[in-house]
Amino acid sequence: MNRRQLIAAGLAATAAPLPAATPREDWQALAGEVKAAMRFAFAAYRQIAWGQDEVKPVSGGGQSFLIPGASVGLSIVEALDTLWLMGLDAELEDAVRWIHQRLTFDLDGDAQVFEASIRLVGGLLSGHLATGDARLLELAHDLASRMMPCFETPTGMPMRYVNLRTGKTRDGQSFPAEIGGGMAPEYVTLSRLTGERRFADKAVAAMLALHARRSKIGLVGDTIDVTTGQWVGRRATVGPPTDSYLEYLWDTWRLTGDVRCRDAYRVETAAILARMADRTTGDLWFANVDFETGAKLSLRQSELSAYYGGLLSEGGDHDAGVAAMTGWIAAQDRYGVLPEAFDPTDWRVLAPTNALRPELADGAFTLWLHDRDERWRHVVAKHFRLMIAKNKAPHGFSGLKDVRTGAQDDACPGYWWSEQMKYYWLIFSDTKRFDYKDNYLSTEGNVLKGLRR
Ligand code: DMJ
């Protein structure tokens, strides 16, 4: 849609879409606070949970994430490019040393392909691009190679789990994010760096196989059987479990120039804007609808959908992207730390937890990259300060069991190291290590383009 069509559809930003610019901030000073928070959390993790996938920031200790009982240093891998961008060189050296000495994927356990790809393959690749360290690329290649059997299905769409030692796969009932959003930019980058086309070919084909199964009105459902190609869940949503699929259609076009991905993104985005955009509250939200009829199912919003305004802007619909963020800004003003799910019709909290989610900062950062409107920085500053006020724990930063009471849940997910800490740093610091004009950050915040060494 062009701007005229957007206005006609009521999607363009109307008056005062963003909060009025608030008092002048010293962004460099704020960047310093972000770096101090990263240094504090990394030191605590180093001391009490080094090598575990995740630190338990309230009680101390750690836990595995990918494979029960077998940690692969997930937080170390996820932190790599963030540490590099912040110039935390001693911490980065420790992290790379641990990976050299300890990291192996020769494990007899079932890895979830989506999580292993966006977090570990992506983290190792961005770590390699930041440091030039060859072992990081070797390990990304090793892990992705172990997971390649997932694509051996009649549809080419991946099975959800693969045993890293035997290659045995399981669980064919999957979701758009895990099929199309779990791999393409990571695997395209891996193919570029190794010269082996098979990674990109399989990942892009899987994403397009899902797109080919869209409904007549251009939407995808939320669950599909990858062995038969039959839809199992009928809900179309921009949130989970579809979110990263929509991101990766556009991202793959940007990284490879593959017009099939651009066209797929355009078809699905036009359908979303036409069928799911909802103005019943005054703000622009995206409803959950039936993927074949377009009938509205609910306006329930998952916090993870807050990325979507940024994606719209990246895809060329900047005004709609700005409009799509205004409700999220109002939600942050209302709740403080956002709940995992709410209904914007009456602001009822539907799920009170918050697993240290980065999506609001992600969306605002992406919009800022496009228009440099200072007010996005204020939105992100508020997100950062809320985290310091509510999530800081004795050994790092913790998710919340209930955003209304502030009770902490004693978990720091791996993406915290890769996502919001990086978005905060990049938006406040103006670091010379990042190309603010020409860059690419993955769904997990891994910088696969734009690191300036
Ligand atoms: C992260 O792993 C990624 O951002 C993914 O795309 C969605 N979920 C989490 C963060 O909430």
Q: Tell me the pLDDT tens digit for each residue of 179-194.
A: 987 789 999 999 999 9
Q: Which of 74, 118, 248, 354 to mutate to test the pocket of ligand 1 (most atoms within 8 A of CB)?
A: 118
Quick one: which atom of ligand 1 is closest to the CA of 362?
Answer: 4
Binned at pLDDT 50, 70 and 90, residue 8 comes out as very low
Pick the residue whose CA is nearest to atom 8 on ligand 1: 304
Rounded Cα–Cα distance for residues 438 and 429 (Å) = 17
Quick one: which atom of ligand 1 is closest to the CA of 357?
Answer: 11
Calculate how far, in angstroms, residue 115's C-alpha sits from the geometric centre of ligand 1.
Answer: 9
Calculate how far, in angstroms, residue 354's C-alpha sits from the geometric centre of ligand 1.
Answer: 12
Quick one: which atom of ligand 1 is closest to the CA of 359?
Answer: 11
270 burial (CB, 10 Å; 0-12 / 13-18 / 19+) is middle
Mean pLDDT of 198-226: 98
> What was the pLDDT predicted at 4?
47
For residue 40, count other CB atoms closer than 10 A to its CB.
14
Q: Which of 78, 443, 446, 447 to mutate to test the pocket of ligand 1 (most atoms within 8 A of CB)?
A: 443
Quick one: which atom of ligand 1 is closest to the CA of 177?
Answer: 6
Calculate how far, in angstroms, residue 44's C-alpha sits from the geometric centre of ligand 1.
Answer: 23
Binned at pLDDT 50, 70 and 90, residue 25 comes out as very high
Following DSSP, what letter does each residue of 341-394 receive, concatenated?
Answer: EEETTTTEEEE--B-S--HHHHHHHHHHHHH--HHHHHHHHHHHHHHHHHTEET
Rounded Cα–Cα distance for residues 428 and 274 (Å) = 36
| Lowest-confidence segment of 180-189, 259-268, 313-322 by average pLDDT | 180-189
Calculate how far, in angstroms, residue 8's C-alpha sits from the geometric centre of ligand 1.
Answer: 33
* Tens-place pLDDT, residues 390-407: 999 999 999 999 999 999
Mean pLDDT of 210-228: 98
Judge whether residue 14 has pLDDT over 70: no
Calculate how far, in angstroms, residue 310's C-alpha sits from the geometric centre of ligand 1.
Answer: 14
Calculate how far, in angstroms, residue 9's C-alpha sits from the geometric centre of ligand 1.
Answer: 30
* Tens-place pLDDT, residues 331-390: 999 999 999 999 999 999 999 999 999 999 999 999 999 999 999 999 999 999 999 999
> What was the pLDDT predicted at 285?
98
Pick the residue whose CA is nearest to atom 10 on ligand 1: 357
Judge whether residue 9 has pLDDT over 60: no
Q: What percent of the chain has pLDDT above 70?
A: 95
Mean pLDDT of 304-321: 98
Judge whether residue 59 has pLDDT over 50: yes
Calculate how far, in angstroms, residue 358's C-alpha sits from the geometric centre of ligand 1.
Answer: 8
Closest CA to 361 of 327, 437, 299, 310: 310
Q: Which residue has the tokens 């000495």?
A: 101
Calculate how far, in angstroms, residue 323's C-alpha sits from the geometric centre of ligand 1.
Answer: 22
Q: Which residues line ligand 1 (CB under 6 A)?
A: 243-244, 304, 357-358, 415, 419, 443-444
* Between residues 221 and 6, the one the model is more confident about: 221
Calculate how far, in angstroms, residue 415's C-alpha sits from the geometric centre of ligand 1.
Answer: 7
Helices of type H across 195-314 = 198-212, 243-256, 259-275, 308-314
> What was the pLDDT predicted at 132?
98
Calculate how far, in angstroms, residue 443's C-alpha sits from the geometric centre of ligand 1.
Answer: 7
Calculate how far, in angstroms, residue 180's C-alpha sits from the geometric centre of ligand 1.
Answer: 14
Pick the residue whose CA is nearest to atom 3 on ligand 1: 444
Judge whether residue 15 has pLDDT over 90: no
Token readout for 405 is 């009471």
Quick one: which atom of ligand 1 is closest to the CA of 414?
Answer: 2
Quick one: which atom of ligand 1 is closest to the CA of 115?
Answer: 2
Pick the residue whose CA is nearest to atom 1 on ligand 1: 444
Quick one: which atom of ligand 1 is closest to the CA of 304?
Answer: 11
Residue ranges per domain, the chain? 3-449
In angstroms, the Cα distances linking 116 to 13, 23, 128, 240 are 37, 42, 17, 17
* Tens-place pLDDT, residues 406-443: 999 999 999 999 999 999 999 999 999 999 999 999 99
Distance of CA 131 to the CA centre of its chain: 22
Quick one: which atom of ligand 1 is closest to the CA of 240?
Answer: 7
Quick one: which atom of ligand 1 is closest to the CA of 303?
Answer: 11
Calculate how far, in angstroms, residue 23's C-alpha sits from the geometric centre of ligand 1.
Answer: 32
pTM, whole model, 2 decimals? 0.96
In angstroms, the Cα distances linking 264 to 8, 113, 124, 311 are 24, 23, 29, 14
Residue 139 main-chain phi, psi, to 5 deg: -70, -35
Binned at pLDDT 50, 70 and 90, residue 90 comes out as very high
Query: How high does pLDDT run on average in the chain?
Result: 95
Judge whether residue 219 has pLDDT over 80: yes
Judge whether residue 18 has pLDDT over 60: no
Following DSSP, what letter does each residue of 16-56 receive, concatenated?
Answer: S-SPPP-S---HHHHHHHHHHHHHHHHHHHHHHSTTSSEE-
Mean pLDDT of 276-299: 98
Pick the residue whose CA is nearest to atom 11 on ligand 1: 357
The DSSP H or E segment spanning 288 is: strand 288-290
- Mention every residue, 6+ apart, whose C-beta is less than 8 A from residue 394: 44, 57, 58, 60
CATH of domain 3-449: 1.50.10.10
